[in-house]
Structure 1
Amino acid sequence: MSTKKSILIADDMHECILPLLREQGYDPVYLPVIDREGILKIIGEFEGLIIRSKTAVNKELVDAGVNLKFVARAGAGMDKVDEDYLNEKGIKAINAPEGNRDALGEHATGLLLSLLHKISSAHKEIKGHKWDRDGNRGIELKGKVVGIYGVGNMGMSFAQKLRGFDCEIIGFDKFKGAFEGGFIKNVELDELMERTEILSLHIPLNRETRHLFDEAYLRRFKNLNVLLNTARGEILRTDALIKLLDDGTLYGAGLDVLENEKLHTYTEQEKAQLDKLNSFPNVLITPHVGGWTYESYQRISEVIAQKIKEEL
């Protein structure tokens, strides 16, 4: 097999990516069910690697990829990609947050509205033949202060979706100045913690952010009522969230991610924590599908192909 402009696609991708890459002169090899051992055996033959979240791009894999010029992550999160080592080796790192940001923004909005208006819990009661209007009275989003922690592609998309709800949107991002569009007020962390009523997390997972949101950190948010996490589960300690729910600090929580999403590997403690979360009627959990729609599945592939064309 020639190493010239050959790309290994080592995970499931929308079929549109193959003709898009061929139009650019690449030879894509589509092996969506290949395992890590299989990747390591053949990666030296390829100039490019496209992966999703199942494949850790670490020193072992990069060293095996002696002809690699780029690694593309079909999605947003780069927590399984050693970008520093790729940079050291002169290998381009690409991701595609533009591909699923709208899906994520819509999903976060859906979680929030369902929590405020008790849509999910009310539906469960009706299925159990219970009709309780007053017990399912909702809270309006209008007039509330929504704090966005991390205003990148995902945080910005969520903010854009909120614009029609007449709420105040404030944001904190340690790497940015003014936010585009003018509808998010850029605040310092102290102000975010002082004023936020609804907190939405949109930061990547790294050494600095892992378990950043523990009990002490969460309690610094003086007016916090609702917490949303559609970023990475490991940035939020589950035991801390349970404490704030148990003592009534939080009106509700919406999670699209968990600390450990491989439920079959759970310890007894992890099982107990998940059971506890599921016992709260004011908690919604979805299986990391916030950015995973039929539209984003195709759009991510299109974004990856376009970035390969523009950046290489």
Structure 2
Amino acid sequence: MGKVLITDAVHSSIIGTIEKLGFEVTYIPKLEYAELDDMIADYEGIIINSKIIMDQRMIDKAGNLHFIGRLGSGLDIIDLEYAKKKGIAVLSAPEGNSNAVGEHALGMLLSLANHLNRADREVRQFKWNREKNRGFELEGKKIGIIGYGHTGPAFAEKLQGFRAQIYVYDKYRKHIADKKRSIMETSLTQIQRECDIISIHLPLTPETKNLVNQEFFEKCLKRPVVINTSRGKILKIEDLLQALKTGRISGACLDVFENEKPQTFTEQEKHVYEELYASDKVLLTPHIAGWTKESKKKIASTLIAKIKKHLESVA
């Protein structure tokens, strides 16, 4: 009987289903990367989330590994080329949480647009500032979506009822315009020049790392709100802060950050993030876009289906 290791919390359905496929399952949801060294060689499959990095060193230790299952979408934690070289299948489930990410991005945007968090705090402090908290509507706005794989279309779908104009750019996907839904395929440059809101929906790759930087912001002509629910290292926080100071952008909704472990901040990082946290022009959440009760189950069912298909293909 083969063995599968699950290193993060999963929906209970995934454990039972993998056992029915003939595997012995080891479930250690609090397993740390350093603990994996002495046990990875025993397993034919491993299911991970974001804390376990399947780099070349770890893949070399996994001599019996046939597949890596990723709970969610981000594959930057896996050395894809080396896994392929070793004949290890990499299976992910971006379809499982795309709806949740789309809803989260919309929720952050509406909250920032209407100053909901600030207004809530002020009312609790017996402050009644109506004019100060006058917001803006999405109707008629030009909203740019950069990246149109899974979460980009989910966000676009959520925007349909707001009568906004949706501009989409994806370097690797074409023919994605939809006149009936006011979705227009365009260039990155046009999004930067014309859009009031820009939302990032990209994987982290060498090509996209630090893509949203000072140069990117300098090309934004409409003082847009910038949304990032994809990967933190795509957007340089220091450059975003400077763009806010100069008025190049008017606000930001950030669910992901360059460093998501505050306990590891350097003194420079601490200074940068303190400045970010102090700004009322930004809305921040701790990488929870896509982190819903429903998505946990959807991710499990999506990944199970892909594992089944993989096993059938190699049987």
TM-score (norm 2): 0.94
Listed one character per residue, the Cα deviations across residues 159-212 of structure 1 (whole Å, up to 9, x for unaligned) are 111111100111111110122866332112222222221000111112121111
Checking the alignment, whether the CA contact within 8 Å between 1:118 and 1:282 is kept in structure 2 is: no
Compute the displacement of 1:10 (Å). Answer: 1.6
Determine the structure 2 residue equivalent to 1:17.
Answer: 14
Give the Cα separation in 2 of the matches to 1:64 and 1:7.
15
> Are positions 1:79 and 2:112 aligned together?
no
- Unaligned ranges ≥5, structure 1: none
Q: Given the alignment of the two structures, is residue 137 of structure 1 paired with residue 139 of structure 2, yes or no? A: no
The corresponding residue for 1:60 is 57
Q: Is the 8 A contact 1:202 1:230 kept in 2?
A: yes
Residue 198 of structure 1: aligned partner: 197
Count of residues in correspondence between the two structures: 309
Correspondences of 1:197-216 after superposition (within 5 Å):
197-216=196-215
Task: Measure how far apart 1:29 and its partner are.
Answer: 1.7
Amino acid at match of 2:84: N
Deviations 1:205-236 (A, max 9, x none): 12121111111112112224200011111111
* Inter-partner Cα distance in structure 2 for 1:122 and 1:150: 32
Greater Cα shift, 119-128 or 106-115: 119-128
Instruction: Provide the residue aligned with 1:100 in structure 2.
Output: 97
CA contact (8 A) 2:217 2:249 kept: no
The 5 Å alignment of 1:17-36 reads 17-36=14-33
Q: Is this contact kept in 2: 1:8–1:46, CA < 8 A?
A: yes
TM-superposed CA distance for 1:88, in Å, is 1.0
Whether contact under 8 Å (1:199, 1:224) holds in the other structure is: no
Distance 1:15 1:181, change over 3 A: farther
Q: Which amino acid aligns with 2:192?
A: M
Kept in 1, the 8 Å contact 2:221–2:248? The answer is no
SS at match of 2:5: strand
Q: Which moved more, 1:160-169 or 1:174-183?
A: 174-183
Report the AA paired with residue 117 of structure 1. Answer: N
Hey, what does 2:216 align to over in structure 1?
217
- Residues 104-119 of structure 1 aligned to structure 2 (within 5 Å): 104-119=101-116
Structure-2 separation of matches of 1:221 and 1:116: 18
- How far off is 1:23 after superposition? 2.6
Query: Corresponding residue for 1:40?
Result: 37
Residues 121, 282 of structure 1: 8 Å contact kept = no
Say whether the 8 Å CA contact 2:220–2:249 is kept in structure 1: no
Aligned to 1:275: 274
Q: What do residues 16-53 of structure 1 show as CA deviations (whole Å, max 9, x unaligned)?
A: 11111123233222122223233221222211110010
Q: Which residue of 2 aligns with 1:160?
A: 157
Q: CA RMSD in A?
A: 1.5
8 Å contact from structure 1 (residues 105, 154) kept in 2: yes
Partners of 2:265 and 2:209 in 1: CA distance: 19
SS of match in other structure, 1:16: helix
What TM-score results when the alignment is normalised by the length of structure 1? Answer: 0.95
